[in-house]
């Protein structure tokens, strides 16, 4: 059992490092691009959100591959089984149950699921923060526009 926890903790830490690096890059790029908005804020917001989610999805796919590699290295499932599929099922907590680990590695599935849930939650928080910052910038741009008091709920004075 200790070996399962050590392998699981090692893979979790690798994935946390990958995720932290991706999150840092996503947040920095979102901040830098948001400071330079000069055209169509709605389109910019859409593009930032699409890029953010695509990068995070690619990051999660990479993290699943790390789990698949770990399963292959330790022999957690039968050799004629799809390691990537098994890793995805566990990481996303889908849990079909059509592939099961060998008994001595049965804790890796739940550890993988715990890792996936935490990293998906982290990604959701970052997506929300990027959206919030982009909306904040959009609102501050609107506040500086002519007739901006309309955006704050106060009618503008007519000319």
Contact 119, 125 (CB under 8 A): no
CA gap 29, 125 in Å, rounded: 16
Helix (H/G/I), strand (E/B), else coil: 115: helix
Q: What's the predicted TM-score (pTM) here?
A: 0.81
pLDDT (tens place) for every residue of the chain, 159 residues total: 999 999 999 999 999 999 999 999 888 887 777 666 667 777 878 888 898 999 999 999 999 999 999 999 999 998 888 999 999 999 999 988 888 899 999 999 999 999 999 999 999 999 998 888 777 766 665 555 544 443 344 444 433
Q: What would the 3-class secondary structure string for 81-111 be?
A: CCHHHHHHHHHCCCCCCCCCCCHHHCCHHHH
């Amino acid at each position: 059992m200790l070996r399962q926890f050590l392998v699981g903790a090692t893979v979790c830490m690798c994935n946390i490092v990958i995720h932290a690096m991706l999150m840092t890059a996503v947040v920095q790029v979102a901040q830098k691009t948001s400071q330079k908005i000069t055209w169509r804020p709605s389109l910019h917001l859409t593009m930032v959100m699409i890029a953010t989610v695509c990068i995070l999805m690619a990051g999660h796919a990479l993290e699943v591959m790390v789990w698949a590699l770990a399963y292959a290295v330790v022999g957690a499932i039968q050799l004629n089984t799809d390691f990537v599929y098994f890793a995805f099922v566990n990481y996303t907590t889908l849990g079909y149950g059509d592939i099961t680990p060998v008994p001595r590695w049965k804790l890796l599935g739940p550890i993988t699921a715990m890792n996936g849930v935490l990293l998906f939650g982290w990604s959701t928080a970052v997506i929300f923060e990027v959206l919030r910052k982009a909306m904040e910038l959009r609102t501050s741009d609107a506040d500086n526009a002519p007739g901006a008091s309309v955006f704050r709920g106060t009618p503008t004075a007519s000319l």
